[in-house]
Structure 1
Amino acid sequence: MEKTRLWLVAVGLVWCLVATTCDAIESPQFTVVHSESEFEIRLYRDSAWMTAPVKEISFEKATRDGFHRLFQYIQGANLNSSRVSMTAPVLTSIVPEAGPLHSSAYFVRFYLPIKFQATPPLPLPELNLKPDSWTSHCVAVRKFSGFARDSNIAREAEKLAISLSRSPWANSTSSKSKYAYSIAQYNSPFRFIGRLNEVWVDVYGSETDGSNGIATY
């Protein structure tokens, strides 16, 4: 219990340090191709991530376990002993129908900074981390505030599904995706107000909304 508390304090301090210069924190680059009041469609570019597979019933426990290992990795637990800058978001993907409660397997992901996109430092074997390369693809995104919890993530994902069903992107959910949906978290666990989370769902990239223009991030 004491080790867990100390680790949470350490993670919180790291997040607090980077939060003061949040504009400098690297994030995966994307282009907005469709925007509505309740969601938007983003076209994400090719990118490299480090992934922690987790077998766990609880989304919250899975995210803590996965990020604990990823945090060790960015602090130098890799074959190069390289320090890796903090990025955002931390992304937890839920594998559909992976267990008796249909959500007992997860992949917790850390976006690698530009410096390491081409050649990520190899993690120490005991961390059970794997590099993950993403090809360019479209993602439907719904934002929500507060904390991402076991009690609310499925509800937020359902709201996104309903919004998509009423839009030009109805029936566009990608059948190639291995994941039911993902939760992106952008803030330290010690930030209690102004929090940002997102639900991500992979979609086909055949629809665009020219009336809203295209914004690149």
Structure 2
Amino acid sequence: MKTIAALAALAISLGSRVQAQTLPTAPCFIYDDDKIEAPCSVSVKNTSSYSIRLYGADAEPEFWSTAAVNGSWADAQGRGFNKNFLYITGANKEGVKIPMTHPVLARHNDSTPTQWQVSFFVPSAFSRNETSVPTPTDKDPSLLTASRLLGGTDWSRVWAQYDSPFTLFGRHNECWVRVQ
């Protein structure tokens, strides 16, 4: 918890410097993977143990498909991933197949730890505006717009997975701290 508080304090203190930066133009990639799109970000600070990135500042809108799941972390990973996977493989009103992106986000409600949201990033080619995002055929996943996360006191942890579940070694997973 002390590490999370320290990271948040650092992020807030760097806020004014970050606000002057703009994001790169989509599509964006991360971890030397130029085939799977990721949300665009500005690197604020990098050390050997953590990095701080700003998402959603002065960029085109970003959209995420989000599935709500009640249960354990394993339930969220399985059912939440599958609901989103169905959406991107054509279970949407337009019948459009959407390329897989990363990260896959899993976050829980701090007051009710069995309530989870699992999200996929919608690629930039499909998210220029709300009308270009394929419409889900199921109530899950919903579409969630990403926003800039700086300047407040509410904290939550988000687990971001950048690799396929079948990648056994050299995985890229992160714990995100939201600064609102």
Pairwise TM-score range, normalised by the shorter structure: 0.7 to 0.9
147, 150, 153: which one aligns with 1:175: 153
Q: Does 1:107 align with 2:130?
A: no
2: distance between equivalents of 1:175 and 1:130? 26
Does 1 or 2 have the higher relative contact order (CA < 8 Å, sep 6+)? Answer: 1
Matching residue within 33, 39, 63 for 1:48? 63
- Cα offset for 1:176? 4.1
2:133 paired with 1:120: yes
Partner deviation per Cα, 1:11-45 (whole Å, 9 max, x = no partner)? xxxxxxxxxx9412110010011223321211102
- Structure 1 residue 197: Cα displacement: 0.3
Is the Cα contact below 8 Å between 2:62 and 2:124 reproduced in 1?
no
CA distance in 2, matches of 1:190, 1:37: 26
More strand by share: 2
Aligned length: 142
For residues 116 and 182 of structure 1, the distance between their equivalents in structure 2, rounded to whole angstroms, comes to 24
In structure 1, the partner of 2:25 is: none
What value does the CA root-mean-square deviation take over the aligned residues? 1.9
* Residues in 2 aligned to 1:104 and 1:123: alpha-carbon distance in whole angstroms: 24
Unaligned runs of 5+ in 2: 1-31
Q: Which residue of 2 aligns with 1:36?
A: 47
TM-score scaled to structure 1, two decimals? 0.61
Residue 27 of structure 1 aligns with which residue? 38
Partner of 1:198: 174
Percent identity, aligned pairs only, is 34
Query: Is 2:99 aligned against 1:85?
Result: yes
Query: Unaligned 5+ residue runs, structure 1?
Result: 1-20, 139-171, 205-217
Q: Which residue of 1 aligns with 2:4?
A: none
Match of 1:60 in 2: 74
Taking the TM superposition and a 5 Å limit, the aligned residue runs for 1:131-210 are 131-138=143-150, 174-176=152-154, 180-203=156-179
Q: Give CA-to-partner distance per residue, 1:111-160, whole Å, 9 cap, x none.
A: 000111122111112x521100012235xxxxxxxxxxxxxxxxxxxxxx
Is the counterpart of residue 96 in structure 1 residue 106 in structure 2? Answer: no
Question: Which is richer in helix?
Answer: 1
Q: After superposition, what is the alpha-carbon deviation per residue over 1:196-217, rounded to whole angstroms, capped at 9, x for unaligned?
A: 100001125xxxxxxxxxxxxx
